[in-house]
Structure 1
Amino acid sequence: MGRGDLTNAEWDRLESFLPRLGARGGRWSDHRRVINGVLYRVRTGVQWRDLPERFGPWETVYKRHRRWSADGYLADAAVEGAGRRGRRGPDRLGRLGGLHRGACSSACRRCEEGTARRSSSKGDRPADEPGRSGASETARPAGGGGQIGECLGRSRGGFTTKIHLAADGRCRPLALLLTPGHYGDGPQLRSVLEQVSVPRLGVGRPRTRPNRVLADKAYTSRENRRYLRRRGIAHTIPERLDQRRHRHDRGSRGGRPTGFDREHYKKRNTVERAINRLKGFRAVATRYEKRAYIYLGTVTLATLIIWLRT
């Protein structure tokens, strides 16, 4: 077993979510060897052609990763992994108390080498890759959504894709959302939280509502606060100075000050640490894929490994 490969215990938990070998006829390469090849590439960021020979033909590894990204197999495995592993440790998702989720985003620079076409000014192109879920904008850690473009746009960091995510108190991603790099953070809060769905071990509906949401000033809009209050979710979001000044200028019509608990806000670093974990995978920190759904599959696989190894 090479450095970074799946252990026997990790493979036992993952194998049941993958399609059976030979399900489509003919002989398939071993799933475990292929997954280890994809992991090697996600961890190191090498070109597919430079994969070591112990993983088999690089075309097999790449094509299976592309197919599973489109079909959602890795997405389903990540969702189930969150449900099975989320009850262990001090931050138990099965309880109504003690669960905090942070929301944040991070831009990942696009590697512009090669002949990949650049997107339009808004960073969107129609997707045409077939699959069970198509090119997906969202992943909870992983799942289908509507079809969008390639999630590329110009921002201060250059030609980038932005990853919006929610994480639990143990720095594990719970929901993912890809947008072009110039999209704002605040308007994506609702979309991210609606993708959170952690299955329970026993009977009952999946856990979708946290006890409290921690987010920075980018999410401090009135619309976001109304949405959180409507769902009964406590939140700790600091108010921007311009909003505070505007509320004071309006007097009694400006409404009451927003509540802010500094002690709760100290726990918001968990989502930043979750982003740091994801960017420890070089193929996540820098986007090498041309197609958005393949890059989403790469980020989803990194999320799955974080859940398996936490």
Structure 2
Amino acid sequence: MDDRRVLSGIVHAIKNGGRWAVCYLSSAARGLRAEEDALQPLRALGRALRVGDVFAALAGEEGVPDRLFVDSSCIKVHRCAGGGVQRRSRWTGALAQGIGTTKGGRNTKLHALCDERGRPLVLMLTPGNVHDAKVAMPLIDALPPTQELVTEKGYDSKALRDWLEARGTQPVIPPRKGRLIQYNYDRTAYKHRNVVERMFCRLKDFRRVATRYDRNATTFMATVTIAALVSYWLS
């Protein structure tokens, strides 16, 4: 089948949600179901990191901007993606697939680092019950140091502040009210923090990103990456 038609079918399914079996790809010539025909290329793209390579090349084309924004967003895990929860081994269990249990049920958390135009530069998946500050350093360390990093008070950590300053990055993080030491921050720069919130809203316009239907973390990460490419880098 033509590669463009397969990719168009994948984007169509990611945008509109639902089962892969209802995808408009036809595979009568191969004797395969539409679900198999659509899902296998998506898994192949994710496992071969081809989608990730395209995303990294486009995101890194203009270098590191002077100001970056970091935040996370919870994604509800559909019951059909819960098959991995029954496996408790270290490598194939729910935690290994980025699925955690919270008060609202099973969730996946999508962490993102974006520029002032709302374009995602780094994406990371964790279980929904992982605190944002625990993965902030490896997320930020994926890019060279920038001049300013803007984020919300959920990332208010002395260790993170000291680490950013050691990298030459000015943290724009409002302190929590209960802090004994109230750190100063650039309030003007912080007013633009909603750019990362709008980025998540745009990604969640894709129904298979707003709700996780994929059991495998690699497949779901490929889904998120394709949505980011279509929304920001290929439009």
TM-score where L is the length of structure 1: 0.69
Kept after mapping to 1: 8 A contact 2:84/2:97? no
AA in 2 matched with 1:237 = I
Query: AA paired with 2:179?
Result: Q
1:174 aligns with 2:146: no
Distance 1:104 1:114 in 2: 24
Q: Is the CA contact (8 Å cut-off) linking 1:159 and 1:181 kept in structure 2?
A: yes
Deviations 1:128-182 (A, max 9, x none): 9xxxxxxxxxxxxxxxxxxx71111111331000001111111111111111111
2:159 equivalent in structure 1? 223
Give the Cα–Cα distance (whole angstroms) in 1 for the partners of residues 158 and 197 of structure 2: 24
Given candidates 43, 58, 61, the residue that maps to 2:38 is 61
Contact 2:81 2:213 in 1 (8 A): no
The equivalent of 1:19 in structure 2 is none
CA distance in 2, matches of 1:113, 1:219: 32
Shift of 1:243: 1.6
Matching residue of 1:126? 91
Aligned to 1:272: 197
Q: Match for 1:107 among 74, 77, 90?
A: 74
Distance 1:222 1:270, change over 3 A: same
Q: Root-mean-square deviation (CA), in Å?
A: 2.3
- Specify the alignment match of 2:130 in structure 1: 183
Distance 1:260 1:151, change over 3 A: same
User: Relative CO higher for 1 or 2, CA cutoff 8 Å, sep ≥ 6?
Assistant: 2
Query: Residues 43-54 of structure 1 correspond to what in structure 2 (within 5 A)?
Result: 43-53=15-25
Change over 3 Å in CA distance of 1:43–1:62 after alignment to 2: same
Comparing both structures, which one devotes a greater share of its residues to helix? 2
- After superposition, the Cα gap between the structure-2 partners of 1:240 and 1:55, relative to the gap in structure 1 and judged at 3 Å, is farther
Cα distance in structure 2, aligned partners of 1:190 and 1:154: 23
Give the SS at the match of 1:277. Answer: helix
Indicate if the aligned counterparts of 1:101 and 1:214 stay in contact, CA closer than 8 A.
yes
Aligned-partner residue type, residue 34 of structure 1: V
Q: Which runs of 5+ in 1 are unaligned?
A: 1-28, 87-92, 129-147, 197-207, 248-256
- Mapped to 2, the partners of 1:291 and 1:309 lie a distance apart of 25
How far is the alpha carbon of 1:211 from its aligned partner? 1.9
8 Å CA contact retained: 2:19, 2:35: no
- Per-residue CA distance 1:176-218 (angstroms, 9 max, x = gap): 111111110111111111223xxxxxxxxxxx22221001011
Alpha carbons of structure 1 residues 119 and 99: separation in structure 2 relative to 1, 3 Å: farther
**Amino acid aligned to 1:264:** A
Could you say if the C-alpha distance between residues 68 and 243 of structure 1 is closer, same or farther in structure 2, counting changes exceeding 3 Å? same
- CA distance in structure 2 between the aligned counterparts of 1:214 and 1:191, rounded to whole angstroms: 16
Equivalent residues, number: 229
The corresponding residue for 2:211 is: 286
> What is the alpha-carbon distance in structure 2 between the residues aligned to residue 240 and residue 270 of structure 1?
21
Task: State TM-score, norm by structure 2.
Answer: 0.89
Mapped partners of 2:135, 2:81: distance in 1: 31
What is the match of residue 58 of structure 2?
81
